[in-house]
Amino acid sequence: MDGNPPATPLVIASGNAGKVREFAALLADLGLEIRPQPEGLEVEETGHTFIDNARLKAVAVAQATGCWALADDSGLAVDALNGAPGVHSARYAPSDPERIERLLAELAAANQQRAAAGLAAQRSARFTAALALADPNGQLRLEVEGHCLGEILETPRGSGGFGYDPVFLLPETGLSFAEMDKATKARLGHRGRAFALLEPGLRALLQ
């Protein structure tokens, strides 16, 4: 016994290994006991916005575990595709490589149509991460949203990260998310930006 009070458990309400890894790093120095969500717990994402889905997941996981729960709903909105894949980012195709393939094919088709109409190609896109924190009674206590503006590359670059990282270029760095070290993505990426907004409230409630 070292006399310190036990660390407060916080469940990361996500089954996505890439997100859980990023949160583990972002939360590392808060002195919390980070737990994965229970195996087999699937929360249906029926919301029409990122924040709606983050709320649904945080509340469901807090109620199922009786612990504080932090949920992230995130995705990529591509301007030339009218914001697709958006809240459907995870369900756009069965695997990460297939999601990237579909995205590049649809963007190429959209830009061919733009060219036929005399318009310049458009590759701008925006990642969003909506975070919601629910307390052990399932009450929502905090919510924030972070964004990151970039461009969709014509071919994937880099081997780090997850999801659409290899095709998302952050112009000010000249790198795709998949080419960046973890600390740079945590500083400049949508999830890191959202977390920076959440952190003061998280510390006040949980430390």
Q: Which stretch binds ligand IMP (CB under 6 A): 106-114, 138-146, 159-167, 194-202?
A: 159-167
Contact call for residue 161 and ligand IMP (CB under 6 A): yes
Contact call for residue 146 and ligand IMP (CB under 6 A): no
**Is the peptide bond between 85 and the residue preceding it cis, with omega within 30 degrees of 0?**
yes
Q: Which stretch binds ligand IMP (CB under 6 A): 30-38, 67-75, 109-117, 134-142?
A: 67-75
What does the per-residue mask of binding to ligand IMP show for 84-103, with x meaning CB under 6 A? -----xx--------x----
Verify whether residue 52 is a known catalytic residue: no
Contact call for residue 176 and ligand IMP (CB under 6 A): no
Contacts of 17 (CB under 8 A, 6+ apart): 162
DSSP character at residue 88: G
CB of 45 or CB of 199, closer to ligand IMP: 45
Q: CA 129, CA 147: separation in Å to the nearest integer?
A: 6
Residue with tokens 């924030």: 144
Catalytic residue among 52, 72, 73, 181: 73
Q: Which stretch binds ligand IMP (CB under 6 A): 23-31, 74-82, 113-121, 138-146?
A: 74-82
Contacts of 30 (CB under 8 A, 6+ apart): 199, 202, 203, 206, 207
Token pair listed for 66: 């009786």
Q: E-assigned strands of 79-173?
A: 124-134, 140-152, 168-170
User: Which residues are tagged catalytic?
Assistant: 73
Residues engaged in binding ligand IMP (CB under 6 A): 16, 45, 73-76, 89-90, 99, 161-165, 177, 189, 191
